[in-house]
Amino acid sequence: MKLLVTGAWKCTDEQLNNLAKLGHEIVFMQNESDKLPCDYKEVEGAICNGLFLHHDIEKFSNLKYIQLTSVGFDRVPMDYVKAKGITINNARGVYSVPMAEFAISGVLQLYKKCQFFYEKQKNNIWEKHRGVLELYDKSVCIIGCGNVGTECAKRFNAFGSNVFGVDLFPREDSAYEKIYPLSDIDNCLSKADIVVLTLPLTEETRHMMNDERFNLMKDKSVLVNIARGAVVDEKALLKSLDNKLLGAVLDVFEQEPLEENSPLWDKENVIITPHNSFVGDGNSKRLEKVIFANLGK
């Protein structure tokens, strides 16, 4: 197979050579927005991320295989892929560990009043805070119980939290006390001290967290969004941060980069990171394993 590999996979020469040893002809391009280094019709497979945002997929007339370096399929015209019978794989499981660690880290920063102590340390001030909270025995609702959600559940369990989930396809899973159907989301939100969003963005989930849903959440609860920004209505979130929520841990936003004048920047009870939760030093090995396993099928 003539395989177009883009810089979305930060691969080594050795990894490319190993692909070639499997019988593939490798063509490499660093930037997915650049001109292709070969004719479109020559490409039979692609390892990429946003390639089809810059190049019309219909030009790849002999495309049979796509390996994404991302988990989401939202950068690929999936209707076309399905209609043409193109095999497509995502990076399932590759980024789950660092994202779960990020979720725990963010909640702990809010619960342990890290910002308060950081400011005191900067100013050489010895001052206690009596409002520090524990994760132990807190109720945690994971909305979206795939790989990322389940890795989150495992880690909250380790702190002695009571973890339950909400998913389109409920199942028995030892990481959760119970996984509820999506139709029970409102009831689940009302019981949770911490809500973690790890579900995909679809037309059904866009602005799923709106005024009504935030009003259902417990007073002084925490929202963690490591899913997609548009799952949350940011205007509704801003209101809730003033009078409802203890805080929010936000790695994704409706518009990225987050605008400099966004009022979210100034919220002392918000932790903001630039879509960075997926980064971890183990990703490269996990992605390599996924790529070679899928190509070997």
Residue whose structure tokens are 């809500």: 195
For 40, the 3-state DSSP assignment is: helix
Q: Digits of tens for pLDDT over the chain (297 positions)?
A: 999 999 999 999 999 999 999 999 999 999 999 999 999 999 999 999 999 999 999 999 999 999 999 998 989 999 999 999 999 999 999 999 999 999 999 999 999 999 999 999 999 999 999 999 999 999 999 999 999 999 999 999 999 999 999 999 999 999 999 999 999 999 999 999 999 999 999 999 999 999 999 999 999 999 999 999 999 999 999 999 999 999 999 999 999 999 999 999 999 999 999 999 999 999 999 999 999 999 986
Q: Which amino acid is at 217?
A: M
Give φ, ψ of 50 to 5 degrees.
-110, 25
Q: Please, what is the angle between helix 96-111 and helix 114-122, to 10°?
A: 70
Nearest-angstrom CA–CA distance, 145 and 258: 27
Nearest-angstrom CA–CA distance, 130 and 202: 42
Nearest-angstrom CA–CA distance, 197 and 175: 16
Nearest-angstrom CA–CA distance, 198 and 93: 13
Nearest-angstrom CA–CA distance, 107 and 61: 47
DSSP 184: G
For 143, the 3-state DSSP assignment is: strand
Q: Which of 53, 83, 46, 91 is nearest to 283 (CA)?
A: 91
Q: Which residues are catalytic?
A: 228, 256, 275
Residue-level pLDDT at 296: 81
Residue-level pLDDT at 297: 60
Residue-level pLDDT at 74: 87
